[in-house]
Amino acid sequence: MTPEVALPLPPALGLIALGLLLPLIPRPARPLWLVGGPALVLGWVWLIPEGSHLALPFLGHVLEPLRATDLTRVFATVFSLMALVGNLFALRQKSTWELAAANVYAGGAIGVTFAGDLISLFVFWEVMAVASATVIWSAARPAAYRAGLRYLQVHLLGGVILMAGIIGHIMDTGSIAFTAMQPETVATWLILIGVLINAGAPPLTAWLPDAYPEASFSGTVFLSAFTTKTAVYVLIAGFPGTQILIWVGMYMVFYGIIYALLENDMRRILAYSIINQVGFMVCGVGIGTEMALNGAASHAFTHIIYKALLLMSAGSVFYMTGRTKCTELGGLFRSMPLTCTAGIIGALAISSFPLTSGFISKSMIAQGAADQHMAWVWMGLEAASAGVFLHAGIKFPWFVFFQKDRGLRPKDPPLNMKVAMVIFSAFCLGLGLFPQPLYAILPFPVDYVPYTTAHVVKQLQLLLFAGLAFFVLLPLMKRTETLSLDWDWLYRRPGPWLAGRALALIGALYDSLTGAGRHLLARLFTTLERGHGPTGTLARTWRVGNAAVAVMVLLCLYLAIYYR
C-alpha cells in the first residue's frame, strides 16, 4: 500500500523550484542539485496515494492541482525519470538558462498529469509552452531564435484554443473537473483541438521537426520527452474512445515515416519519428479499449526512454563533431563504440525488436485493434512498424555510424553523457526482458503476453523483410542536400505574404472609412452651424414682441391638443 503523503503539494512544484533556483546554486553543487532533485521528485510521486489531496477555492470553483490516479503515476514516473537522466546527460551544458528551463518544463509536464481540474491543467500547460521555447532559444543561434518564435506562436495558438474550450465547457456544465469527455459540443471540440496541436497532429504538425533540431545537443533530448507525451496523457484521460483519433493517429504514423525517410539531418529524422510514434499512441486512444489504452500509456513510457536514448546518441555525435547531416557523417562506430551501441539499442527498441521495450508496448495497440476487428487499422499499424524500422531502426544508425567513412575520429562523449546512455540502454533492454513491472502500474489490469511464438516470428519476419528492402533500395535511401516542403511552408512563405496583403487591405479600408467619416462630420458641422452658429437662424437675437407671439402660438397649440 502506498504510504500517506507527507506534504499535500504537487510534485511539479519541486522541479519548477529546482529550475528557478538553479542560477543561484554554486556551480560545484549543481550536479548534485540537478540529479538529486529529480530523484526526490520521483520518490515524491510514489508517496502520493490515489485520490485528490489539495483543494483551493478559485472564483466560485475548487481547484484540484494534486489528484493522483494509476494513469497519473505512469506518466509522472517516466517524466521524473527523464528529468533525472536528462539532467545527468546535460551536466556539461554551459547554458544555465537551458538547464533551468528544462526542469521547469519537466515540472509543468508533471503538473498536468496531477491536475484534477481544467484550470490547473491549463496553467501547467502554458508553463510548459514558455519553458520549452526557452530551451530552444538557449541554443543561442539565429536559427534557434527564429524556430523558437515559430514554436511559441503555434503553442500559444493551441493554448488560446484550449482556454476557449475550457471556458465554454465550464459555461456548459458549470464544472471545472477534468474528466473523460467526448467531442460533442463546440467547447469539447476546442479542447480536443488544443490538445492535438501539442500532440503534433495535422495540420499544425511541422512545428516539431522545425523547432526541436534547432536546440542544443541536450535541449533536443528534453524536448522529445514532455510536450507530445503530456498531450497523449490528456487524450487518454480526457478523450478515450474518440473515433476520429484513430484516423488522426494513422495520418501521423505514415506522415512521420515518409518525411523521416526523406530527411538528411539525423536529428530531424528522429524528430519526424516522434510524430510517427505518437501517432501509434493517438490511434490507441481512439480505439479506446482497456488493451489499447494500456498500450498507449505503456508505449508513451517506453517511447520517452528509447527516443531520449536515440537523441542522446545523436546529441553525442553533434557534441563531438559539430555535424548533424547524414551526408557529413559515417564510420563513427570505430571511434565512438559506446555511442554507436546506445544508438543501435534505441533503434531496435523503436522498431519493436523482440527483447526490447518497444516490443512489449507497441504491440498492445495493434492487439487492441485486432480485438475490435479493425482489420484495416491493424494492417496499417503492422505496415507502419516496418516503416519505423526503415527510417529509425536502420537509416539512423547506418548513415551516422556505418556508411562511407568521412575520416572523422571523435571519441565517445564525456563520462556523464556515457552514463546517461548506459542507464537508458539498460531500461530499453530491461523492460523488454521483464515487462511485468511496467504492466503492473498501468491503469487497467493487463491480460497480455507479448512473447508468444506467433508474435515473435511475425515481428522478426516483418523486420527482416524491412531490412532487406532498405539495403536493396540503398541507392534511393542515400540522402542529398535537399529541402522537404512541409506544412510549415504555408505559414512561413505564403502566410507572411498573405498577412502583409491583408494588413495593406485593412489599412486602405481604414483610410477610406476614416476619410468618409471626416467628410460626413464636416457636413454635419456645417449644417449645424447654419442653424446654431453666430449668424444662424436659431442663434440670432429676437425682439421681445416676436418672442411673445411665438409663446402664444405654442400655448394655443398645447390647449388645442389638450382639449380635443
3-state secondary structure of 314: helix
Evaluate whether residue 90 is within a structural domain. no
Evaluate whether residue 378 is within a structural domain. yes
Q: What is the pLDDT of residue 1?
A: 42
Model confidence band, residue 7 (pLDDT cutoffs 50, 70, 90): low
Strands 61-63 and 56-58: antiparallel
Average pLDDT in the 327-337 region?
88
Number of domains in the chain: 1
Average pLDDT in the 531-547 region?
67
Provide, rounded to the nearest whole percent, the portion of the chain with pLDDT above 90: 57
Model confidence band, residue 522 (pLDDT cutoffs 50, 70, 90): confident
Q: In this structure, what are the phi and psi dihedrals at residue 52, rounded to the nearest 5 degrees?
A: -95, 135
CB 14 within 8 A of CB 107: yes
Model confidence band, residue 538 (pLDDT cutoffs 50, 70, 90): low
Residues 6+ apart with CB under 8 A from 193: 158, 161, 162, 165
Paired with 63 in beta bridges are: 56
Q: What is the pLDDT of residue 253?
A: 92
Q: Print the domain residue range for 353.
A: 240-484
Residues 6+ apart with CB under 8 A from 395: 260, 261, 269, 326, 470, 477
Q: What is the pLDDT of residue 478?
A: 67
Query: Which parts of 96-164 are beta strand (E)?
Result: none
Sign of the torsion angle spanned by Cα atoms 270, 272, 277, 281: positive
Amino acid at 321: T
Range with lowest mean pLDDT among 68-77, 313-322, 490-499: 490-499
User: How big is the chain by its Cα radius of gyration, in Å?
Assistant: 31
Evaluate whether residue 439 is within a structural domain. yes
3-state secondary structure of 62: strand
Burial category of 492 from C-beta neighbours within 10 Å (exposed 0-12, middle 13-18, buried 19 and up): middle
State the Cα–Cα distance between residues 252 and 245, nearest whole angstrom.
10
Q: Is the pLDDT of residue 509 over 80?
A: yes
CB 356 within 8 A of CB 388: no
Chain CA centroid to CA 402, Å: 32
Sign of the torsion angle spanned by Cα atoms 23, 26, 28, 32: negative
Q: Return the closest-CA partner of residue 363 out of 384, 344, 342, 345.
A: 384
CB 267 within 8 A of CB 311: yes
Q: Is the pLDDT of residue 493 over 80?
A: no
Q: Take residue 523 and report the three cell numbers written for it.
A: 457636413
Evaluate whether residue 336 is within a structural domain. yes
For residue 412, what is the DSSP state? P
Amino acid at 501: R
Model confidence band, residue 540 (pLDDT cutoffs 50, 70, 90): low
Q: Take residue 354 and report the three cell numbers written for it.
A: 523482440
State the Cα–Cα distance between residues 82 and 88, nearest whole angstrom.
10
Q: Is the pLDDT of residue 556 over 60?
A: yes
Evaluate whether residue 43 is within a structural domain. no
Grid look-up 563513427 returns 332
| Per-residue pLDDT tens digits for 334-381 | 899 999 999 999 999 998 899 999 999 988 999 999 999 898 999 888
Sign of the torsion angle spanned by Cα atoms 495, 128, 195, 286: positive
For every residue of 63-82, DSSP letters joined together read: E-S-EE-HHHHHHHHHHHHH
3-state secondary structure of 183: coil
Q: Higher model confidence: residue 541 or residue 85?
A: 85
Q: What is the pLDDT of residue 551?
A: 79
State the Cα–Cα distance between residues 52 and 64, nearest whole angstrom.
7
Average pLDDT in the 471-485 region?
69
Q: Higher model confidence: residue 407 or residue 475?
A: 407
- What integer best gives the mean pLDDT of the chain? 88
Average pLDDT in the 219-224 region?
94
Q: What is the pLDDT of residue 554?
A: 80
| Per-residue pLDDT tens digits for 421-459 | 999 999 999 999 999 999 999 999 998 899 989 889 988
| Per-residue pLDDT tens digits for 25-44 | 998 899 999 999 999 999 99
Evaluate whether residue 324 is within a structural domain. yes
State the Cα–Cα distance between residues 290 and 284, nearest whole angstrom.
10
Q: What is the pLDDT of residue 564?
A: 66
Model confidence band, residue 2 (pLDDT cutoffs 50, 70, 90): very low
Residues 6+ apart with CB under 8 A from 295: 284, 361, 362, 363, 364, 365, 366, 367, 368
Q: Higher model confidence: residue 367 or residue 564?
A: 367
CB 124 within 8 A of CB 13: no
